[in-house]
Structure 1
């Protein structure tokens, strides 16, 4: 796999990847705990001890918040109000403070200074039954930045007028500060606009393949494909056309184009990764992911397995040039692996919601050799390599938040569900828990990515493991004692990670009772 020269766009993207804030339109209590657990501010995360937006308060806080929201509009990010610079509750916000932060009211206030394209989400929380904290999500502005529409002024305590920003100005986040746009900030805006236009160009290119898709979706598509070039059915098709074509081929029992597509997918991805003028292959991964999800949904399990195997072959592409046990790789390769693991988790969540346990195991059991005879699940391998390459901050344990973003973007991974459906997050945590159990049983290194999330999401699947023989048989073949020890060890590791986020704290009573009853040889 050859790697292109580094560009300004690459530099900006790397800076975005190295900070651990997963930017997504989520403002629930889990997200708040994940953010304050970072114990530091970033260009996409701002901590504030107090803001008073009540009518009786000075206008200063409104203007300062508008400045920060405008600056956040370049990349997107979060503002947490009611904590100090290390994320600890400041004890200065009250319920009266937080009431004026409802989404509609806050947006109305900010539109005095910010453009109509402003998108924010807000939610007030109470931590430890006493600390009032507000979480604000700011979406990246579709124009690349936000131009202030009027001057931001207020009168200080001495009766002097202060101007924070002027109409027509643009602010951005320079480290942890909101400042006027500099040359560096302008380069960030331009780089992001270039990437967006590149993605639009690739979408336009996909439309060139619509002729084949039209033929596929017409009556008698199987016969038309049999007479036409089967090799033209590939991952360059637009996603909707690809899936419609696959459906018609399955109905016509014509598997040749599907075979050729899966056989050719690794080479197609290899070419995309070697081409410096293209993105990192995410578009091709998305289409293969959606095709895999289709096979899962229509219960074509043979094709599902083949498609997962193809994903595995694509994951292994970098090993054509580097040893399998390599401990460090370039950021480009690490990002490639991370993108695959995010999509594998999204597929796993889909399989969990459909209770397709063999499919869950197929996705969970794939592993990568890491030297010394050891193997690591491809999910953990992608996470570890991304962290070592500084694609992820070393403290980040939020793979499932990244996977949730992928599910949000790909309709095929959440059929019939809204992007904000809580069941998406729940099914992601349950898949990850089951993947940990598969890893333990198969002696494959795993990582409990479910740990930072609230335990009510994951506990029910653990209960089913000890109560339902069919579920247990799909994931663990050992004795009751072996299962009890496995559950204990997974929980112990999850507790070590989850305590900072008020996440995983342990099993429900039925599972703990099973462990206490059957774990006769519990390790120290």
Structure 2
């Protein structure tokens, strides 16, 4: 699955709000509003909220309302401030329930951000999810209000609302394929469940029989869970090579296309699952083969010019999307490697250099891909800060791990609402993504300390710094980790690399309004940095 412009992941934390504001423009899944007065006597705003909530609920993944900002995602200090008490999740759900005959998730939180004029401004972030039934949500009751011009009807019985670009509108015939996406996918899943169960049982039986019996079958078009189970049964290497070759051939086709099709996405997903299984089983040779396939495809894609800052051509955007989707899976694998302490895997995934032109390149494809994804505006947002919107790619990697749990086999994942007061450490997927991000930056900075802006960019600066503290403490206190991750480097060189990464992260966190980057580091980290000076 390729995520849309906005990563809809049910989180309503301050971090998520800043991420949504960083996009800087409305999208189908993202609606900015300057204000909403949801007091009991203000029926127009309440009815408009119901309409917008239903339209978002009818999207395949749902979407977000952000209230208190203008169309560019900046605090709307010229409008009336919102009343935070009106944006309680239960109160919002109650407003909607009286007008619809099936419920859907609504989770909200209000955060204070500082406007450019120095005013502290309350902004509400509201997540609206699709209903559990997967059916569209119709209106069951008329919604009207009166003003000096007379009576106005916003909601009619039987109305279905959808998002059409950045507007909430009544359904038209062209909207029905999108409205039925979730229901169609459920039907497909049910239709293939019987055959998937049969294949799964065969895989289990052959796996239980051991290598002296029949070899476990494996195919790139298997359902993900069956495919992962087949991998855990350790298929013959020649069968695994067939899968890698099949994925390569499908992705070679994708490099010449103007869009990444379902076959290409499936090939990327299966490569990620093979990589995750290799990390889980400590098979570095298999992981190296996966990285090599991804690297070959990455390098084969038509290269946009390094001298063009804004990439608008269809082919350039297609290449940037392919690179972005490769790196989303690399980050997901790196997150797994962090959680299982496979430092060799972290190094293998991070240090894939990319030479742009002779004599100039990047020590890590993670930096190169981020630059060009931003230039092609496939990370969303634009303007002079476009290349620093990398926090979005960590959210994409997090959501990929949740939607494809076979790449996070060490965790039991639930894609559900997240508390607005969520502490760092309660979201292991995001924490480990941020930690991998910091480590690849340290690796790149140590590999080529000459120019930090070319060498690395700490995407984790968009999130609470406490998410990366555990990996900094491990790096500072475990010589064996340093030896495996950064072989041949002195503690002094490692400390310089860490300090340079943190310096840039702090400055970017200030620019983005992130949390807790100015505070003291953990004591062992401070001691390591001081001791290496």
Does the pair score TM above 0.5?
A: yes
Equivalent residue number for residue 447 of structure 1? 457
In 2, Cα distance between the equivalents of 1:433 and 1:71? 38
Aligned counterparts, 1:418-457, within 5 A: 418-419=413-414, 422-443=427-448, 445-457=455-467
In 2, Cα distance between the equivalents of 1:161 and 1:466? 68
Equivalent residue number for residue 451 of structure 2? none
Distance 1:247 1:309, change over 3 A: same
- SS state at 2:457 partner: coil
- SS state at 2:328 partner: helix
In 1, Cα distance between the equivalents of 2:130 and 2:339? 31
Aligned counterparts, 1:100-499, within 5 A: 100-116=86-102, 118-127=104-113, 131-140=121-130, 146-156=137-147, 158=148, 160-181=150-171, 186-190=173-177, 193=180, 197=184, 213-218=200-205, 219-220=208-209, 222-226=211-215, 233-249=218-234, 254-270=236-252, 279=262, 281-318=264-301, 329-376=315-362, 377-393=364-380, 394=382, 395=386, 396-397=389-390, 398-414=392-408, 415-419=410-414, 422-443=427-448, 445-476=455-486, 477-499=488-510
Question: RMSD across aligned C-alpha pairs, in angstroms?
Answer: 3.6
Distance 1:192 1:346, change over 3 A: farther
- SS state at 2:401 partner: helix
- SS state at 1:27 partner: coil
Question: What is the total number of aligned residue pairs between the two structures?
Answer: 487
1:36 correspondence with 2:31: no
Deviations 1:394-431 (A, max 9, x none): 33331101111101101123333333551211111000
* Alignment gaps of 5+ in structure 2: 416-425, 449-453
Deviations 1:179-212 (A, max 9, x none): 4446xxx535535757985897699679767766
Distance 1:115 1:402, change over 3 A: farther
1:59 correspondence with 2:43: yes
Matched-pair contact (CA < 8 Å) for 1:342–1:399:
yes
Equivalent residue number for residue 7 of structure 1? none
In 2, Cα distance between the equivalents of 1:334 and 1:177? 28
In 2, Cα distance between the equivalents of 1:159 and 1:191? 36
Matched-pair contact (CA < 8 Å) for 1:38–1:87:
no
In 2, Cα distance between the equivalents of 1:39 and 1:260? 44
Equivalent residue number for residue 503 of structure 1? 514
* Alignment gaps of 5+ in structure 1: 1-12, 520-524
1:69 CA displacement:
1.3
Q: Which of 451-460 and 386-395 deviates more?
A: 386-395
Deviations 1:71-107 (A, max 9, x none): 333443211223455431649557xx33343323322
Q: Which of 509-518 and 330-339 deviates more?
A: 509-518
Q: Which of 98-107 and 266-275 deviates more?
A: 266-275
Matched-pair contact (CA < 8 Å) for 1:235–1:288:
no
1:127 CA displacement:
4.3
In 2, Cα distance between the equivalents of 1:175 and 1:308? 37
Equivalent residue number for residue 6 of structure 1? none
Deviations 1:429-449 (A, max 9, x none): 000000111112223833211
- SS state at 2:87 partner: coil
1:312 CA displacement:
2.8
In 1, Cα distance between the equivalents of 2:307 and 2:245? 27
